[in-house]
């Protein structure tokens, strides 16, 4: 996906990128590639691939969840190099964004990136999702919590749903095999106060790989015993 295709594909979705936004994506790409030489941020570095598989793919969540277009507070769990929240923030500048990541080097990259992109209302927290979810400053404080390909759904739900306020949504972005994950994660979603509202399947343009966006509503408060201590959700997922 070259830049012209990137702009055009968004315009077909009713998103008209300004010159400033186009420039921000260009700065994002340059910064990502430059820092990727010093630390492992992404295996995808070809420009057309980055624009399709990282930038465009990140924003697809907003095609299926209207809340992203409003000035809501979102939390991105395990964002790595900033996906999906930074592309979403570029496209929807009114979003307030908090990113939590367990690797301090990635937090440094994101802080530098935010300065380069001149982003406002962004916060970066170096923490494990399990301890972050116990922190009263953040627990059940977010309108939307997102995660993209971080862990299987049963694990991801325990890391993300405690952060979603009742009435908010958890948006899980998955590649293929979402059906198996949904089946395995049903009990975890329910135990943690969530309800699967919708699964949206589509293909990325041009390369046609499958993507799934799961919209999970927070219908009741999460029990205080979740999330469990670091490492436990992954070793012993709720089943």
Question: Do the annotations mark residue 129 as ligand-binding?
Answer: yes
Tell me how far apart the alpha carbons of residues 211 and 202 are, in angstroms, rounded to a whole number: 5
Task: State pLDDT tens for residues 96-115.
Answer: 999 999 999 999 999 999 99
Asked if 98 contacts 123 with a C-beta cutoff of 8 angstroms, the reply is: yes
Kindly report whether the peptide bond that precedes residue 13 is cis, defined as omega within 30 degrees of 0.
no
Question: Do the annotations mark residue 203 as ligand-binding?
Answer: no
Question: Do the annotations mark residue 130 as ligand-binding?
Answer: yes
* CATH number for region 57-235: 3.40.50.150
Return the domain boundaries, the chain: 57-235
Average pLDDT, the chain: 95
Question: What pTM, to 2 d.p., does this model score?
Answer: 0.96
Residue 79: pLDDT band (50, 70, 90) is: confident
Task: State pLDDT tens for residues 15-54.
Answer: 999 999 999 999 999 999 999 999 999 999 999 999 999 9
Kindly report whether the peptide bond that precedes residue 227 is cis, defined as omega within 30 degrees of 0.
yes
By CB neighbour count within 10 A (0-12 exposed, 13-18 middle, 19+ buried), where does 199 fall? middle
Question: Do the annotations mark residue 26 as ligand-binding?
Answer: no
Asked if 47 contacts 55 with a C-beta cutoff of 8 angstroms, the reply is: no
Kindly report whether the peptide bond that precedes residue 84 is cis, defined as omega within 30 degrees of 0.
yes
Question: Do the annotations mark residue 78 as ligand-binding?
Answer: yes
- For residue 35, what are the CA distances in angstroms to 19, 28, 78, 231? 24, 11, 18, 28
Structural tokens at position 62: 């907003």
């Amino acid at each position: 996906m070259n830049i012209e295709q990137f702009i055009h594909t968004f315009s077909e979705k009713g998103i008209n990128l300004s010159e400033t936004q186009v420039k921000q994506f260009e700065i994002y790409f340059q910064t990502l590639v430059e820092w990727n030489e010093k630390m492992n941020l992404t295996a995808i570095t070809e420009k057309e691939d980055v624009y399709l598989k990282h930038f465009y793919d990140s924003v697809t969540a907003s095609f299926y969840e209207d809340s992203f277009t409003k000035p809501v507070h979102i939390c991105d769990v395990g964002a790595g190099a900033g996906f999906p929240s930074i592309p979403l923030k570029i496209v929807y500048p009114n979003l307030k964004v908090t990113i939590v990541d367990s690797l301090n080097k990635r937090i440094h990259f994101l802080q530098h990136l935010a300065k380069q992109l001149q982003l406002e209302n962004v916060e970066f927290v170096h923490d494990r999702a399990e301890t972050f979810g116990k922190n009263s400053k953040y627990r059940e404080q977010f309108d939307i919590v997102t995660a993209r390909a971080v862990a299987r759904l049963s694990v991801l739900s325990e890391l993300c749903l405690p952060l979603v306020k009742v009435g908010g949504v958890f948006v899980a972005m998955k590649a293929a095999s979402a059906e198996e994950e949904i089946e395995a994660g049903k009990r975890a979603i329910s135990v943690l106060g969530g309800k699967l509202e919708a699964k949206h399947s589509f293909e990325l343009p041009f390369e046609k790989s499958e993507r799934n966006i799961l919209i999970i509503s927070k219908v009741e408060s999460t029990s205080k015993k979740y999330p469990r201590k670091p490492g436990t959700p992954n070793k012993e997922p709720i089943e």
